[in-house]
Amino acid sequence: MFSAASVGPISEEYAGANLGDRRRTERAKSIAESLWQRPSIGFPRALGSSAELEAFYRFINSDDFSASDIVAPHIAATFARAKEQETVVAIHDTTTFEYSTERGGFGYTTHLDKEDGFIAHVTLLVSESEATPLGVGCLETWTRAGGKNIKRRSRRHHIKSKDDPARESLRWLRSIQATESACSDESTVIHVTDAEGDFFELFAKLNELKAHFVIRAGHTERCVSHAGQDQSIRDVADTMVRPITHREIELSERRHPKRSNRSARVKHPDRLARNARVAIAAAPITLSTTSYFSTPTDPFKVNLVRVWEPHPPKGEPPVEWLLLTTERVSSAASLKRIVDIYRKRWIIEEYFKALKSGCSLEKRQVESYDALCKVLALFIPIAYRILLLRSLERAEPETKATKLFSRVELEIMAAAPSNKGLPPPNTIHQALLHIARLGGHIRNNGRPGWQTLAWGYEKLLTLRLGWEIARASKCDQS
């Protein structure tokens, strides 16, 4: 998909993998190139022959190497790209991969016992200046034993397990530590999480590392110190009624599936896509250790930024974010920057969609957890490239299309029935619109999404294959 030398072929994201044998590394690169051509289709069609398919299953079922060995070169390449940036946003989030049938090594992932699968914690790095994805910097996967009743633990049991070295919450600390160790000496790293990352142990680790962060407050009843008084975060926010500045933000549509739990619908109600004008204010607060966190820690200061929508459209839920951050809040520009940094968190949601739908990870007929982790490791760089394709169109729309596509591909785009009458594209923006139309995009639907682009690119590859076959036939006849 990326023909420019500056971007490089997809196989470069797997180069140097230590899989115990040079032939396995070459196999990983070969598999990746096949999957990259058509990431959403089944393995038999993507790999092209029964011999290649058999070799693929031997590869993912091998006990001689792990999924982390496959993804290690991509992580190294991600940090190398990050070090070229002045400021990097590290977005941390967790997702689940769920399957309707039982498979070896799976566990529960939701409150529904019938959902079997595994969980992944991902750190996605993006540039602050252009929000260009740089790749995955950290990846952890695990399974949970038991069923839905495991979640119904008493508070007493929860407190008792706070020193458990296997508790899931430690994944946040590990990913932050790894990211800081890998690139903070050469780039400024700003860590971003949603409300799930709001727990004191994480703040204490960030403070210990002198790290930068923007984290959405989830425990708004937490007691903090403000203006010499102990108050809850909610009470402090309620006093911040005079905006320092305003910002126009784009909100995506949100629709909860029917089976979603009630608390999720209450916290994040359905809404229509729209542009919102939000007000922004800030206040300094002091965080102190909690009863759950047993390590002695001195109080430390952070800034509370309130982002809210004073006048939402009738019938629409108002926007409100309470953000805890180390970033400066001394000017209108600095407050707008904090809002823009937090908004980049949605990029990782798009990345998860690229894995689940663009790469069809939850539809793969692989029968064991270990093998699926290897499949995930193979798709981690591919999903990154799918996401990067759309990001480059948004960040560099007027760049020459030949940076990403060959001249033959551009001619094929223009000759496709869906682009009939249009000249070959000159810019990345024009090329992506051509590909989107191949994928069934309708102009009135706004900008094409990553999935439409993936479908369109798959059709482009099919057309290019036909062109190559015809060209080879013509050469044979001559």
For the chain (478 residues), the mean pLDDT of every run of 10, in chain order, is: 49 89 92 86 88 94 95 95 94 92 81 73 95 95 71 44 77 96 88 96 95 96 94 96 95 74 71 90 94 81 97 91 97 97 95 90 91 96 86 75 80 86 85 85 69 73 78 67
Which H or E element spans position 200? helix 200-208
pLDDT at 448 (0 to 100):
72
CB atoms under 10 Å from CB of 400, counted, come to 14
Q: Which two tokens stand for residue 187?
A: 């780039």
Q: How far apart are CA 188 and CA 125, in angstroms?
A: 12
Side chain identity at 260, as an amino acid letter?
S
Domain borders along the chain are 10-64, 67-160+167-369, 396-477
Q: Which two tokens stand for residue 421?
A: 């009458």
Q: How far apart are CA 84 and CA 183, in angstroms?
A: 10
pLDDT at 311 (0 to 100):
92
Q: How far apart are CA 85 and CA 182, in angstroms?
A: 13
Decide: 298 and 277 in contact? Cβ < 8 Å.
no
Q: How far apart are CA 1 and CA 385, in angstroms?
A: 8
Side chain identity at 354, as an amino acid letter?
A
Residues 6+ apart with CB under 8 A from 387: 133, 347, 350, 351, 354, 450
pLDDT at 4 (0 to 100):
34
Q: How far apart are CA 430 and CA 425, in angstroms?
A: 5
Scored b (16 or more CB within 10 A) or e, 204-236 reads bbbbebebbbbbbbbeeebebbbeeeebebeeb
Q: How far apart are CA 335 and CA 341, in angstroms?
A: 10
Q: Which two tokens stand for residue 74?
A: 């991509």
Which among 215, 216, 238, 236 is positioned nearest to 227, based on CA atoms?
A: 236
Task: Tell me which residue has tokens 């905006």.
Answer: 243
Decide: 103 and 116 in contact? Cβ < 8 Å.
yes
Phi, psi of 139 (to 5 degrees): -145, 125
Helix (H, G, I), strand (E, B) or coil at 2: coil
Pairing of strands 188-193, 87-99: parallel
Going through 217-265 in order, the beta strands assigned E by DSSP cover 223-226, 229-232, 245-251
Which among 183, 150, 184, 181 is positioned nearest to 167, based on CA atoms?
A: 150
Q: How far apart are CA 353 and CA 95, in angstroms?
A: 10
Q: Tell me which architecture the domain covering 10-64 has in CATH.
A: Orthogonal Bundle (1.10)
Residues 6+ apart with CB under 8 A from 428: 392, 393, 396, 397, 398, 399, 400, 401, 403, 404
Which among 125, 16, 17, 127 is positioned nearest to 69, based on CA atoms?
A: 17
Please give the CATH topology (third level) of the domain spanning 67-160+167-369. Answer: Transposase Inhibitor Protein From Tn5; Chain A, domain 1 (3.90.350)
pLDDT at 461 (0 to 100):
73
Q: How far apart are CA 347 and CA 257, in angstroms?
A: 21
Residue count of the chain: 478
